[in-house]
Structure 1
Amino acid sequence: MKKILFAHDESVDDKADSAEWAEALNIKTDNLLAAVGVIDYHDKFLLHNTEEDILQLNEEIMSIISENTGDRTNTLAACIDEDKYVLIFSDVSREENSAAKRKIEKILSSIKKEIEEKLQMTVTFGLSGGGGNITNVAAYYENALSALRYKLYMGTNSLIWYEQCTFSEEIPSELKDAINEWSRKPIRSEEAMRQLEDIFQMLGTLRLRYSQYNLLLLRLVGNVIRDAEDSAMMSKVFGDIDTSTVFCGCETWRDHFQWMQKHISRLKEGGREEKHRSEIEAALRYIEDNLGEPLTLSRIADHVNFSKNYFSQLFKQSMGENLVDYIARIRINRAKELLLSSDYKVYEIAAEVGFESQHYFNRLFKTLVGVTPTEYRNIKCFS
């Protein structure tokens, strides 16, 4: 049995012919081929990690592959091709195809389990097999990549054989009607959200061709974008949107549904904030004018005629921080002004901005500013 070989030649890519693959990986072309497997981690990992993290990850995953393959398996070779890990399995024992597959799946299950336990991440396996000469390796690799893409329907924590990748050839009228009906409804309504979930469930079950799926997905997203544009909330909902990377990090139909949920929720929140902007501004003025008084949630909510719970939620959505933190920050800012512009003693300033306890005032001031009130006054006066 040939020992596992770790090799990577940048001149060998997915367009290389089989002879180049075999030569680069030092594989004899008379070996029989059982399967080619491709292991891929997820886009979300790439989004949140540095280049150094990725290089370290490559080493750790290749080490795990090495530990689970080698002379005791029928693995011919393993290499890294761009950001994917390629395993080539031989069939020197000339086993029945199903038996060879079971053996390969057992190897990959061990690799998968160890990656999950050691690296706390999930991976997807794309596989293509069925026997043949090693010179078929390039074609098998292409098919394994196609199988990997099928995670759109099967999920990211999957082992997918190319032979499993079946598609619906036509978009059923039931799905078309559901999308048309959803498009006519106010997309922020609860009914529309339930219907959208049903639509994505159908998309996940039907397994359309990727081009058909993408067209329907773009139509659904287009409705959300139009609603945001009509409400003048594009920047609030989408930020600096780049249409080429709008779904970056989304790999399955469930990811796409969650993306839609998130942005429709932002539309709801933005609409509610816009509707009650005058009340929020009135609350801010009230806080500013009454810093020396007890400022409770009940008192401020009553001032703008809202219930405590509703106002608390609305305030945080509008201001990006809760009411208590906001009041504390405003009081400390006023105290900083008084420390520099008046001769009041520290305890007098504490009372002036609404603190009953000077001890608490001193602690909070140091937490937010980094120095005590007295130190702040001395530093600023000295400078």
Structure 2
Amino acid sequence: MIQALIVDDELMQVQGLVRHIGWEKLGYHRPLTAQSAEEALSLLAAHKVDVLITDVLMPGMTGIELLAKCRSDFQSLQSLQTVMISGYDEFEFVQEAIHLGAKAYVLKPVKTEELETKLAVFRDSIEKKNRIEEETNNLREKVTDSYEVLQERFVKDLIEGWIHSDDLLESWRRLLELPLGEWQPALFLFSYDQLLLSGPYDAKERIMLSEGLLNCVKLGLSEFSGTYIGKTGADEVVVILLNVSPHDRVRLAKQLTFIQDVLREQFNASVTVGISRECSCWEEIPLLYKEVRHMLAGARLSGYGQILYFDHIEMNEYHDFRLREEYIPEIVKLLDSGESGKSGESGKAAAYFDHAFEMLLAKQPVSFSYIQAFGMVLISELARKLKRTKDTDAEMNILVWQKLIDCTGAEEVRRAVLDYLAQYTQLKQKEQTVQQHNLIQKVACYLEEHLQDNVTVKQLAEQFHLNSSYLSVLFKKEMGRTISDFAQEARMNKAKELLRDPSIKVYEVAEQVGFQTAAYFTFLFKKLNGTTPQEFRDYYY
């Protein structure tokens, strides 16, 4: 059952809620009670509480401050369901509580039916959350118990590069009892070609084809140890061999035709098989997968149902493709992204370029003209991204192109391009800083012009076509304070300006700066300035 805590300095209010709410019928234990926020904190530390019902205004610590304390001091209370009880004139206080995570509020005098409705909603939400946690735990146990599920996940993580450290690999080694020592892995990729189906191709048939391919590969390779099989798509299965002898590799290759024949007979579908080169470390497995997929895509132009071996010619073709279609776009993306102002992103781009450059040098024979061309294509792509300003004119690009033409060795090309990447990063940082400054100044002006509208961060983000979290981070970085703090300060400054005019009543000042009630305006004004609005007016003017 669910545990609630009622906090109110009025004993009659507490007793009334305990007595008149049908707690047991709603699925709740008899509620805990406290007559101060300080007493409530002691109970929260000692008991598991699911629902907090608290008055807004109490002597000492308010209900809002209590909720803020729960969020900051109790990790276990981050999802605490909270109802705020308030008088009509205290609605602005409730708005602040909602910002802190309160889920509901009720007005005094409290109506039993209204509070019971909210408690029932909370109960359903808590029960759903508990069921999800239970199902997640059950799933975790099932996954641990299922070797095939684990094996398939291992294969998928390997080829997608998610296993990126020795520690993570070691955890998989323990889980699947993988072979010890260094591996010399190879990869087999089974992929459906164009399906030769006589009837319509529906969802059910697609599932059958996908499972049929997986089962057929498992059956065909069942006698080989050290093979790990996983489905990487509806039409594709990957087999990873961690250590396989030359004799077993020959035997395994003979099974490929058998698998192709069975799938053609059973499903009227042809399958092409790609066999990778061998490599000396597990970190290369994602590259093996990309190489074989690229090989299959090109080979299908000449026919289906083939068995293909990745060789040095294929490797050179794939390296050219990768430099053109992967490395240059990725370097440009890293330098031109919204995160380019961070030194980490420019460092990644330089490292990525170095890796691509090493690939060029690894080609035999090494073509110096190709190396020069690679540098010029990369610089051309980056040059198109820069805005033409007094800092970034065509002269800079002409100078680096001339420098590349004058290079006589590969290392000179490398240094020239890396120098350009560093200059590009600095220019993009300046460009981005100016754009962000102008944007945040527009946001600040908009806030000051719409104080009466109580604009939310979400509305601001929509107005300026930004993600709300990104806008909040940019604003604080530029202005040194959060959007809500800036808006609150702007309201107070505008209020002080209006209070200079004695013909404007205090409640009118509150309305003009975006407060729905004069009571909350007075409370907040005194909290921030040490005097009430009327005292401020009387003292200064």
The alignment's TM-score, normalised by the length of structure 1, stands at 0.30
The alignment's TM-score, normalised by the length of structure 2, stands at 0.23
Asked which structure has the greater RCO (Cα within 8 Å, sep 6+), the reply is 1
